[in-house]
Structure 1
Amino acid sequence: MDDLSKSQMFVIHGVAAVGSVAFASALTYPLDTMKVLTQVASSSGKQLNAAELLLRILTLSGNSGISGLFSGYGSLALGRTLGLGARFGVYEIITAFYKDGLEDNYVSASDALLAGMAAGAVEALISSPFELIKLREQVSSASYIPNSTFALDKGAQPPLISRLLSGCYPDKRSLNQYVGLISTLSTKNTNVTSALLEYPWMMTGSGKPPSVCNVRRPSDIISLEGWGALWRGLRSGIARDSVFGGVFFSSWQFLHQAMLDWKAVGMDPPPRSDEEVGPLSPLFVSIAAGLSASVAAAASHAFDTTRTRSQCTVLPKYVSMERRLLKWKQPGNKFERYTGIHPSDRNLLFRGLRWRMARSGLASFMIVGSYFFAVDHLASNLT
């Protein structure tokens, strides 16, 4: 009977955790969309404000403009559930070793920092593919996709292009202009045109990579960019999630311990351990989680901007292969190379900071609060 009760409690905690993550992600997802578009659409000279971003989304996202704010939510919900499960699971496993042999379950802020950094690195490995797909859906929702007035006839799609990216048709105007630049022959010469179309770098007809709007489905990403694209920007992702996890758990542990000490003041007799103080209010725990997440988001935002901008870049696998063969060296100083920061993004690293702090703080507050509420509600019904 005890085993059955333990199994039921385990299911209750699992259902409450998944439900709280989905609920908080849904309510804060528009903030994440605004953050991503601020990071991607802003140049070094101008940063788009909230009104411009919102108008662009409502105008370009189709018949139901509000749906553009939730583009890619399914990928985020799945990736966030797996990622947060890995983050808290790894953190609990590591801190269990710290608490082994101690009289109480005390974890210092420094131990929480190290455990959180390790947990964040694992989270980055798991959530990277889902985050890439989510980000490209968000960017596509606010991107202008021109019509195919000047596209080649669909029946004339080159075999090489059809294998690399299904549904991509080169722009006939760009192709004719390109042929005119490199050849003295007429742009109507089918031999030159057909030959150029057999080169992967002529997929768009201009020598440029396809737009993110054309490479957002998992099958298209794998076909054109390879499996490694799902983990693009992994260095900056690990740096971001490691810093976030370390700062989040250490700040949360510090605030949690401060609240326990405050509650213990005036107790007679004085408690000998944290267990004797008793549980804290779920509201205060949720507020502490929200504050910790906001601080962690601010500390790791530079790496988040780098990760976002790198994932929004289409890099065909033949270009990646050429870079490996030529031993291409990533630009920037040693710190930038290790963390994946591109030198051209130095002035953009803190774009969207307020959006991310608000989203992280609200999401953490809602996740913890709804988790406690769901567990109490389900457990009361069980008994």
Structure 2
Amino acid sequence: MVADQKSKSDISFAGTFASSAFAACFAEICTIPLDTAKVRLQLQKKAASGDGVALPKYRGMLGTVSTIAREEGLTALWKGIVPGLHRQCLFGGLRIGLYEPVKNFYVGSDFVGDVPLSKKILAGLTTGALAITIANPTDLVKVRLQAEGKLPPGVPRRYSGALNAYSTIIRQEGFGALWTGIGPNIARNAIINAAELASYDQVKQTILKIPGFTDNVVTHLFAGLGAGFFAVCIGSPVDVVKSRMMGDSAYKSTLDCFIKTLKNDGPFAFYKGFIPNFGRLGSWNVIMFLTLEQAKKFVRSIESS
């Protein structure tokens, strides 16, 4: 993603996949507390009390983080980290690793010059959809573990850990249940992946044309922030629907979840957790892209030696 003209002679797919998986996992470890806060906020519904509507348990990103840490302990903020890392190895490695080859496929082998934004978006949609189709079970388990809050004394947890969650879901709900929410998940991840990778690619390409800017950490920082902002603005509604479908089996379909959310909680519910989502995706993209660029540089030096 340095410059479009150079992408064809870049590092190998294996090197890109390894760099992408490593960068995505590192970003996941750093930012998963914000993701846990985001999931709790998204799953929170209006609670009726005797006198009307009760105050929500979780309020704001920092409030949610502090509530979880106070009630459940600091480690609860890293709930779902194991399937989260499973997800990033598969999803992060595939969606980013395949982006350049797919983009080059769409423009053709003889193409020279700046790749059009439409082709970048198409490549991002393609790799995001393909990668999450494979990685959906890891996403489901991650959300299920994150969604489980503090339980009353004596009430056992649904899952003792990530591997137990996989086996329990298969045993109780069937193998196909691992792909619960696949519709909104494909929509979300294809859209967000296109927003992230295409905007990072485009912003970086634009910055590099400004006199004084070079392919360095400052450029990667600005491009990563731009990628995170576009991803959240575009992907938040499908992200909320995905989290609700994965966290609650009461919804019959994507459309049913969308309609019930709109009817019961109003249109602003689709932007629930927007600030923690941007805090999460913005910081995630900055950390991931900065790490990715350095990892690719390291791999490039090994492969060229």
| TM-score, normalised with respect to structure 2 | 0.79
Paired residue secondary structure (1:117): helix
CA distance in 1, matches of 2:132, 2:246: 13
Paired residue secondary structure (2:154): coil
Q: 2:189 aligns with which of 222, 225, 241?
A: 241
- Report the Cα offset of residue 370 of structure 1: 1.8
Identity of aligned residues (%): 22
1:253 is aligned with what amino acid?
D
Q: 2:245 aligns with which of 302, 310, 319?
A: 310
Name 1:253's counterpart in structure 2. Answer: 201
2:281 is aligned with what amino acid?
S
* Aligned-residue RMSD, C-alpha: 3.2
Structure of greater Rg: 1
CA distance in 1, matches of 2:13, 2:272: 41
Residues 250 and 54 (structure 1), Cα distance of their counterparts in 2 relative to 1, 3 Å cut = closer
| CA deviations over 1:313-366 (Å, ceiling 9, x no partner) | 246xxxx9xxxxxxxxx58xxxx63xx643121222111111111111111111
What residue ranges of structure 2 are gaps of 5+ in the alignment?
1-8, 48-52
CA distance in 2, matches of 1:9, 1:254: 22
Paired residue secondary structure (2:210): helix
| TM-score, normalised with respect to structure 1 | 0.64
Q: 2:68 aligns with which of 57, 74, 93?
A: 57
Residues 39 and 111 (structure 1), Cα distance of their counterparts in 2 relative to 1, 3 Å cut = same
1:261 is aligned with what amino acid?
K
Query: Within 5 A, what are the aligned runs for 1:10-21?
Result: 15-21=18-24
CA distance in 2, matches of 1:377, 1:227: 40
- Report the Cα offset of residue 285 of structure 1: 2.4
| CA deviations over 1:254-309 (Å, ceiling 9, x no partner) | 2123123224x9xxxxxxxxxxxx96224302420231122112211111111111
Residues 286 and 342 (structure 1), Cα distance of their counterparts in 2 relative to 1, 3 Å cut = same
- Report the Cα offset of residue 373 of structure 1: 2.8
CA distance in 1, matches of 2:12, 2:126: 28
> In the alignment, is the contact (CA less than 8 A) between 1:289 and 1:365 conserved in 2?
yes
Residues 283 and 9 (structure 1), Cα distance of their counterparts in 2 relative to 1, 3 Å cut = farther
Matched, 1:224 2:172: yes
Q: 1:110 aligns with which of 100, 106, 118?
A: 118
Name 1:344's counterpart in structure 2. Answer: 260
Matched, 1:358 2:279: yes
- Report the Cα offset of residue 33 of structure 1: 0.6
What residue ranges of structure 1 are gaps of 5+ in the alignment?
1-5, 149-167, 169-210, 266-277, 321-329
Name 1:72's counterpart in structure 2. Answer: 80
> In the alignment, is the contact (CA less than 8 A) between 2:20 and 2:96 conserved in 1?
no
- Report the Cα offset of residue 38 of structure 1: 0.6
| CA deviations over 1:103-138 (Å, ceiling 9, x no partner) | 34x211111111111111112212211111111211
CA distance in 1, matches of 2:182, 2:32: 22
CA distance in 1, matches of 2:45, 2:63: 11
> In the alignment, is the contact (CA less than 8 A) between 2:17 and 2:97 conserved in 1?
no
What number of residue pairs does the alignment pair up? Answer: 279
Query: Within 5 A, what are the aligned runs for 1:106-145?
Result: 106-140=114-148, 142-145=149-152
CA distance in 2, matches of 1:280, 1:54: 35
- Report the Cα offset of residue 52 of structure 1: 4.9
